[in-house]
Amino acid sequence: MESYADLEYAGEYFSQRLHSEAWEATVDAVKEAALRSATRAIDRQPLSGRKGVLTQTLAFPRYPDSAIPDPVMQACCEEALALIARGNSQRRRLQEEGVQAFSLGNMSESYTPGAGKGLLSLTAKELLRPWLAGSVMIQ
């Protein structure tokens, strides 16, 4: 397995979600690559607990789960959409390279240290919150 969500799951997920036009307008090969990239980004997050089976390739499922939880598959879809929609922007590349300030004419931007790292999608971060190390669910 290379991704937490396959094209079939993602297609169903996005068919019931608003503002997924970028997904629909993308060819399947790019969608698959985005899902694999999203999975790798999720696996780079600081996760609590341990793998369900120590020899499994991906970080999920986590012990004691035996299957990948639906919120993780949804987070994979959300991150894939974010990668397609804005993952290769000039702003993102500057942040990943460690640039902390950028000016062009009258426009300027400042980035906090570490900007451009982690997940692009805030929705994906929220969906993954129960498995992120150091996060606490408040009810």
Given a contact cutoff of 8 angstroms between Cβ atoms, the answer to whether 67 and 60 are in contact is no
Dihedral (Cα; 56, 133, 38, 121), 10-degree rounding: 160
- Spacing of C-alpha 135 from chain mean position: 17
pLDDT of residue 99: 59
Give the global pTM: 0.79
pLDDT at 137 over 80: no
Rounded to whole angstroms, the Cα distance separating 30 from 24 reads 11
- Give the position of tokens 């035996």: 66
137, amino acid identity: M
Measured between alpha carbons, how far is 17 from 25 in angstroms, rounded to an integer? Answer: 15
Residue 115: its pLDDT value, please? 46
Average pLDDT over the chain, rounded to an integer: 85
pLDDT in tens, 40-50: 999 999 999 99
Residue 98's pLDDT is what? Answer: 56
CA distances (Å), origin 11, targets 98, 99, 137: 35, 36, 29
Q: What is the pLDDT of residue 110?
A: 61
**What is the amino acid identity at position 63?**
Y
State residue 35's pLDDT score: 98
Peptide bond into 46 cis (omega under 30): no
Q: What is the pLDDT of residues 99-128, one digit of tens each?
A: 556 666 777 666 555 445 578 899 999 999
**Predicted confidence band of residue 60 (pLDDT cuts 50, 70, 90):** very high
Average pLDDT over residues 83-109: 65
